[in-house]
Amino acid sequence: MRRLLCLLLLLLGSTAWAQQQIAPDVWLLRGAYEAGKQPDGNSILLRGSEGWVLIDSGRHAAHAEALLKQAGGQLKAVINTHWHLDHLGGNALLRERVPGVQVYASATVDTALQGWLARSREQMLAAMKDDKLPSATRQMMQIDLDLLSKPQALAPDQRIREPGPLQLAGRRLRIGLESAVSGGDLWVFDEATATLMTGDLITWPVPFMDTACAEDWDAALARLEALPFERLVPGHGPVMSRADLQKYRQAWQTLQACAASSAEPRACSMAWIEALPGLIATEERPRVHAMLAYYLKSRLRAAPAEARAFCAAAAKDGH
Protein backbone atom coordinates (compact mmCIF):
# COMPACT_ATOMS: atom_id res chain seq x y z
CA MET A 1 0.00 0.00 0.00
CA ARG A 2 2.16 2.81 -1.31
CA ARG A 3 0.18 5.67 0.15
CA LEU A 4 0.44 4.13 3.60
CA LEU A 5 4.12 5.08 3.44
CA CYS A 6 3.23 8.75 3.16
CA LEU A 7 0.76 8.37 6.00
CA LEU A 8 3.49 6.98 8.27
CA LEU A 9 5.79 9.83 7.33
CA LEU A 10 3.12 12.27 8.38
CA LEU A 11 3.10 10.67 11.81
CA LEU A 12 6.73 11.42 12.61
CA GLY A 13 5.61 14.60 14.35
CA SER A 14 3.65 14.81 17.59
CA THR A 15 1.28 17.72 18.17
CA ALA A 16 -1.53 17.67 20.71
CA TRP A 17 -4.95 19.18 20.08
CA ALA A 18 -5.09 22.88 20.97
CA GLN A 19 -8.18 25.07 20.86
CA GLN A 20 -8.00 28.85 20.60
CA GLN A 21 -10.11 31.87 19.72
CA ILE A 22 -8.53 33.53 16.70
CA ALA A 23 -11.12 36.27 16.00
CA PRO A 24 -14.48 37.40 17.44
CA ASP A 25 -16.80 34.35 17.39
CA VAL A 26 -14.18 32.26 15.55
CA TRP A 27 -12.58 29.27 17.28
CA LEU A 28 -9.83 27.04 15.92
CA LEU A 29 -9.30 23.45 17.03
CA ARG A 30 -5.83 22.55 15.79
CA GLY A 31 -5.46 19.15 14.27
CA ALA A 32 -2.90 16.72 15.65
CA TYR A 33 -0.03 14.57 14.42
CA GLU A 34 0.08 12.24 17.40
CA ALA A 35 2.51 9.33 17.38
CA GLY A 36 0.73 6.09 16.57
CA LYS A 37 -2.35 7.80 15.13
CA GLN A 38 -3.42 9.17 11.80
CA PRO A 39 -3.81 12.96 11.66
CA ASP A 40 -6.79 15.22 12.16
CA GLY A 41 -7.09 18.38 10.08
CA ASN A 42 -7.72 21.80 11.55
CA SER A 43 -11.35 22.58 12.42
CA ILE A 44 -12.90 26.04 12.71
CA LEU A 45 -16.13 26.94 14.52
CA LEU A 46 -17.94 30.17 13.58
CA ARG A 47 -20.68 31.45 15.88
CA GLY A 48 -23.60 33.09 14.09
CA SER A 49 -26.82 34.63 15.36
CA GLU A 50 -28.60 31.27 14.90
CA GLY A 51 -25.91 28.85 16.08
CA TRP A 52 -22.54 27.50 15.01
CA VAL A 53 -21.02 26.63 11.63
CA LEU A 54 -18.16 24.13 11.52
CA ILE A 55 -15.48 23.98 8.85
CA ASP A 56 -14.07 20.41 8.74
CA SER A 57 -14.81 17.77 11.36
CA GLY A 58 -11.52 15.91 11.79
CA ARG A 59 -11.21 12.13 11.91
CA HIS A 60 -11.11 10.94 15.53
CA ALA A 61 -13.96 10.83 18.04
CA ALA A 62 -12.06 12.92 20.61
CA HIS A 63 -11.63 15.70 18.05
CA ALA A 64 -15.35 15.72 17.22
CA GLU A 65 -16.24 15.62 20.93
CA ALA A 66 -14.16 18.75 21.54
CA LEU A 67 -16.01 20.52 18.73
CA LEU A 68 -19.39 19.53 20.17
CA LYS A 69 -18.37 20.82 23.59
CA GLN A 70 -17.48 24.22 22.16
CA ALA A 71 -20.69 24.43 20.10
CA GLY A 72 -22.82 23.59 23.15
CA GLY A 73 -25.49 21.70 21.21
CA GLN A 74 -26.05 24.59 18.77
CA LEU A 75 -24.23 23.19 15.75
CA LYS A 76 -26.31 24.04 12.66
CA ALA A 77 -24.08 23.29 9.68
CA VAL A 78 -20.84 21.60 8.67
CA ILE A 79 -18.75 22.47 5.62
CA ASN A 80 -16.21 19.87 4.53
CA THR A 81 -13.45 21.41 2.45
CA HIS A 82 -12.69 18.07 0.75
CA TRP A 83 -13.05 14.29 1.03
CA HIS A 84 -9.96 13.25 2.98
CA LEU A 85 -11.02 11.43 6.14
CA ASP A 86 -9.05 13.73 8.46
CA HIS A 87 -11.44 16.52 7.37
CA LEU A 88 -14.80 14.74 7.22
CA GLY A 89 -14.55 11.61 9.36
CA GLY A 90 -16.09 13.43 12.32
CA ASN A 91 -19.32 13.87 10.35
CA ALA A 92 -20.52 10.44 11.49
CA LEU A 93 -20.35 11.24 15.21
CA LEU A 94 -21.70 14.78 14.74
CA ARG A 95 -24.77 13.44 12.91
CA GLU A 96 -25.39 10.99 15.74
CA ARG A 97 -25.23 13.72 18.38
CA VAL A 98 -26.89 16.57 16.46
CA PRO A 99 -29.83 15.25 14.42
CA GLY A 100 -30.68 17.54 11.55
CA VAL A 101 -27.27 19.16 11.20
CA GLN A 102 -26.71 20.01 7.53
CA VAL A 103 -23.47 19.05 5.82
CA TYR A 104 -22.16 20.97 2.79
CA ALA A 105 -19.35 19.80 0.49
CA SER A 106 -18.44 19.53 -3.17
CA ALA A 107 -19.83 16.65 -5.21
CA THR A 108 -16.36 15.05 -5.33
CA VAL A 109 -17.06 13.69 -1.83
CA ASP A 110 -19.67 11.41 -3.41
CA THR A 111 -17.39 10.25 -6.21
CA ALA A 112 -14.51 9.64 -3.77
CA LEU A 113 -16.73 7.60 -1.44
CA GLN A 114 -17.72 5.44 -4.39
CA GLY A 115 -14.24 5.42 -5.95
CA TRP A 116 -10.92 6.13 -4.22
CA LEU A 117 -12.18 5.66 -0.65
CA ALA A 118 -14.11 2.50 -1.52
CA ARG A 119 -10.98 1.03 -3.10
CA SER A 120 -8.92 2.11 -0.10
CA ARG A 121 -11.38 0.27 2.14
CA GLU A 122 -10.96 -2.93 0.13
CA GLN A 123 -7.17 -2.62 0.32
CA MET A 124 -7.31 -2.14 4.09
CA LEU A 125 -9.62 -5.12 4.53
CA ALA A 126 -7.15 -7.24 2.60
CA ALA A 127 -4.22 -5.92 4.64
CA MET A 128 -6.01 -6.67 7.91
CA LYS A 129 -5.93 -10.40 7.05
CA ASP A 130 -2.14 -10.37 7.40
CA ASP A 131 -1.21 -11.76 10.83
CA LYS A 132 2.11 -9.89 10.64
CA LEU A 133 0.45 -6.47 10.36
CA PRO A 134 1.74 -4.31 13.27
CA SER A 135 -0.90 -3.73 15.92
CA ALA A 136 -0.52 0.08 15.72
CA THR A 137 -1.15 -0.01 11.97
CA ARG A 138 -4.10 -2.36 12.51
CA GLN A 139 -5.64 0.07 15.02
CA MET A 140 -5.22 3.01 12.63
CA MET A 141 -6.80 1.09 9.78
CA GLN A 142 -9.71 -0.02 11.94
CA ILE A 143 -10.66 3.59 12.68
CA ASP A 144 -10.87 4.35 8.97
CA LEU A 145 -12.67 1.09 8.22
CA ASP A 146 -15.29 1.93 10.82
CA LEU A 147 -15.85 5.32 9.19
CA LEU A 148 -15.97 3.90 5.66
CA SER A 149 -18.46 1.24 6.69
CA LYS A 150 -21.12 3.99 6.84
CA PRO A 151 -20.44 6.23 3.82
CA GLN A 152 -23.92 7.77 4.03
CA ALA A 153 -22.88 9.36 7.34
CA LEU A 154 -19.92 11.04 5.62
CA ALA A 155 -21.66 12.26 2.46
CA PRO A 156 -23.02 15.81 2.17
CA ASP A 157 -26.65 16.86 2.35
CA GLN A 158 -25.97 19.86 0.12
CA ARG A 159 -23.54 19.75 -2.83
CA ILE A 160 -21.65 22.93 -3.66
CA ARG A 161 -21.04 22.94 -7.40
CA GLU A 162 -19.91 26.52 -8.01
CA PRO A 163 -18.35 29.35 -6.01
CA GLY A 164 -20.47 32.05 -4.44
CA PRO A 165 -22.04 33.41 -1.23
CA LEU A 166 -23.55 31.18 1.42
CA GLN A 167 -25.57 32.24 4.46
CA LEU A 168 -25.46 29.74 7.34
CA ALA A 169 -26.66 30.18 10.95
CA GLY A 170 -26.79 33.93 10.41
CA ARG A 171 -23.19 34.06 9.16
CA ARG A 172 -22.36 35.34 5.67
CA LEU A 173 -19.66 33.28 3.99
CA ARG A 174 -18.03 33.26 0.59
CA ILE A 175 -17.21 29.84 -0.87
CA GLY A 176 -14.55 29.08 -3.46
CA LEU A 177 -14.11 25.88 -5.45
CA GLU A 178 -10.70 24.66 -6.61
CA SER A 179 -9.29 21.40 -7.99
CA ALA A 180 -5.68 21.26 -6.82
CA VAL A 181 -5.80 18.89 -3.86
CA SER A 182 -8.73 16.50 -4.30
CA GLY A 183 -10.53 17.44 -7.49
CA GLY A 184 -13.09 19.54 -5.60
CA ASP A 185 -11.61 21.67 -2.81
CA LEU A 186 -13.62 24.33 -1.01
CA TRP A 187 -12.21 27.39 0.65
CA VAL A 188 -14.36 29.47 3.00
CA PHE A 189 -14.02 33.22 3.59
CA ASP A 190 -15.75 34.67 6.65
CA GLU A 191 -16.53 38.26 5.71
CA ALA A 192 -17.24 39.48 9.25
CA THR A 193 -13.72 38.75 10.49
CA ALA A 194 -11.77 38.54 7.22
CA THR A 195 -10.77 34.98 8.12
CA LEU A 196 -9.93 32.61 5.26
CA MET A 197 -10.10 28.83 5.72
CA THR A 198 -8.33 26.93 2.96
CA GLY A 199 -8.53 23.24 3.80
CA ASP A 200 -5.56 21.38 2.33
CA LEU A 201 -4.93 23.98 -0.36
CA ILE A 202 -2.34 25.01 2.24
CA THR A 203 -0.70 22.57 4.66
CA TRP A 204 2.41 22.52 6.82
CA PRO A 205 5.19 21.60 6.77
CA VAL A 206 4.76 20.78 3.04
CA PRO A 207 1.91 20.62 0.51
CA PHE A 208 0.11 17.27 0.85
CA MET A 209 0.07 15.87 -2.69
CA ASP A 210 -1.32 12.34 -2.26
CA THR A 211 -4.43 13.10 -4.35
CA ALA A 212 -3.26 16.35 -5.89
CA CYS A 213 -3.16 17.86 -9.35
CA ALA A 214 0.04 19.84 -8.94
CA GLU A 215 -0.43 21.80 -12.16
CA ASP A 216 -3.56 23.46 -10.73
CA TRP A 217 -2.01 24.50 -7.43
CA ASP A 218 -0.31 27.80 -8.24
CA ALA A 219 -3.46 29.24 -9.82
CA ALA A 220 -5.41 28.24 -6.71
CA LEU A 221 -2.85 29.93 -4.44
CA ALA A 222 -3.05 33.08 -6.59
CA ARG A 223 -6.82 33.22 -6.12
CA LEU A 224 -6.40 32.82 -2.36
CA GLU A 225 -3.83 35.61 -2.29
CA ALA A 226 -6.26 37.93 -4.06
CA LEU A 227 -8.85 37.65 -1.27
CA PRO A 228 -9.04 40.46 1.34
CA PHE A 229 -8.20 38.24 4.31
CA GLU A 230 -6.46 39.26 7.52
CA ARG A 231 -5.74 35.76 8.80
CA LEU A 232 -5.62 32.38 7.09
CA VAL A 233 -6.29 28.97 8.63
CA PRO A 234 -4.62 26.15 6.64
CA GLY A 235 -5.79 22.56 6.58
CA HIS A 236 -2.87 21.59 8.81
CA GLY A 237 -0.62 23.94 10.73
CA PRO A 238 -0.73 27.35 12.46
CA VAL A 239 -2.72 30.45 11.54
CA MET A 240 -0.99 32.44 8.81
CA SER A 241 -0.67 36.07 7.75
CA ARG A 242 -0.81 37.46 4.22
CA ALA A 243 2.99 37.63 4.20
CA ASP A 244 3.12 33.95 5.16
CA LEU A 245 0.91 33.03 2.21
CA GLN A 246 3.08 35.04 -0.16
CA LYS A 247 6.15 33.17 1.07
CA TYR A 248 4.31 29.86 0.77
CA ARG A 249 3.33 30.54 -2.82
CA GLN A 250 6.90 31.54 -3.70
CA ALA A 251 8.19 28.39 -2.01
CA TRP A 252 5.76 26.31 -4.10
CA GLN A 253 7.03 27.91 -7.29
CA THR A 254 10.61 27.27 -6.17
CA LEU A 255 9.79 23.63 -5.47
CA GLN A 256 8.15 23.24 -8.88
CA ALA A 257 11.22 24.67 -10.61
CA CYS A 258 13.52 22.37 -8.65
CA ALA A 259 11.35 19.36 -9.47
CA ALA A 260 11.68 20.20 -13.17
CA SER A 261 15.49 20.21 -12.86
CA SER A 262 17.96 17.37 -12.29
CA ALA A 263 18.62 18.41 -8.69
CA GLU A 264 18.72 15.76 -5.98
CA PRO A 265 15.55 15.45 -3.86
CA ARG A 266 17.30 16.80 -0.77
CA ALA A 267 18.33 19.91 -2.70
CA CYS A 268 14.67 20.50 -3.60
CA SER A 269 13.49 20.03 -0.01
CA MET A 270 16.21 22.41 1.18
CA ALA A 271 15.03 24.94 -1.42
CA TRP A 272 11.53 24.64 0.07
CA ILE A 273 12.85 25.19 3.61
CA GLU A 274 15.04 28.14 2.61
CA ALA A 275 12.14 29.82 0.81
CA LEU A 276 10.22 29.83 4.11
CA PRO A 277 12.66 31.50 6.54
CA GLY A 278 11.51 31.26 10.14
CA LEU A 279 8.40 29.22 9.25
CA ILE A 280 9.74 25.66 9.44
CA ALA A 281 11.30 24.65 12.75
CA THR A 282 14.63 22.81 12.78
CA GLU A 283 13.01 19.71 14.30
CA GLU A 284 10.55 19.61 11.37
CA ARG A 285 13.29 19.36 8.74
CA PRO A 286 13.66 15.54 8.74
CA ARG A 287 9.93 15.21 8.08
CA VAL A 288 10.12 17.82 5.31
CA HIS A 289 12.95 15.97 3.60
CA ALA A 290 11.17 12.62 3.86
CA MET A 291 7.79 13.86 2.66
CA LEU A 292 9.12 15.87 -0.27
CA ALA A 293 11.34 12.99 -1.41
CA TYR A 294 8.19 10.87 -1.53
CA TYR A 295 6.13 13.51 -3.36
CA LEU A 296 8.89 14.19 -5.88
CA LYS A 297 8.87 10.51 -6.79
CA SER A 298 5.11 9.94 -6.68
CA ARG A 299 3.86 13.25 -8.12
CA LEU A 300 6.24 15.97 -9.24
CA ARG A 301 8.65 13.69 -11.12
CA ALA A 302 6.35 10.78 -11.85
CA ALA A 303 5.45 9.56 -15.32
CA PRO A 304 2.78 11.82 -16.88
CA ALA A 305 -0.09 9.39 -16.29
CA GLU A 306 0.79 9.07 -12.61
CA ALA A 307 1.58 12.76 -12.11
CA ARG A 308 -1.80 13.75 -13.58
CA ALA A 309 -3.82 10.88 -12.10
CA PHE A 310 -5.94 13.28 -10.06
CA CYS A 311 -6.32 15.99 -12.69
CA ALA A 312 -9.50 16.71 -14.65
CA ALA A 313 -11.11 13.49 -15.94
CA ALA A 314 -9.36 11.25 -13.44
CA ALA A 315 -10.67 13.31 -10.53
CA LYS A 316 -14.23 13.05 -11.85
CA ASP A 317 -13.96 9.29 -11.46
CA GLY A 318 -13.03 9.57 -7.79
CA HIS A 319 -9.61 8.19 -8.76
Cβ(29)–Cβ(8) under 8 Å? no
Residue 85 CB contacts under 8 Å (≥ 6 apart), including other chains: 38, 59, 117, 144, 147, 148
**pLDDT tens for each residue of 243-286:** 999 999 999 999 999 999 999 999 999 999 999 999 999 999 99
Question: What fold characterizes domain 2-248?
Answer: Metallo-beta-lactamase; Chain A (3.60.15)
Label residue 99 by pLDDT band (50, 70, 90): very high
What is the rounded average pLDDT of the residues 147-166? 96
pLDDT at residue 312 in the model: 65
pLDDT at residue 8 in the model: 46
Integer-rounded Cα Rg, in Å, for the chain is 19
What is the rounded average pLDDT of the residues 25-43? 89
Q: Percent of the chain beyond pLDDT 90?
A: 86
pLDDT score of 3 more than 70: no
C-alpha–C-alpha distance, residues 167 and 105, integer Å: 14
pLDDT at residue 263 in the model: 98
More confident residue, 13 or 253: 253
**pLDDT tens for each residue of 181-216:** 999 999 999 999 999 999 999 999 999 999 999 999
Query: What is the reported pTM?
Result: 0.93
* CB atoms near residue 18 (< 10 Å): 11
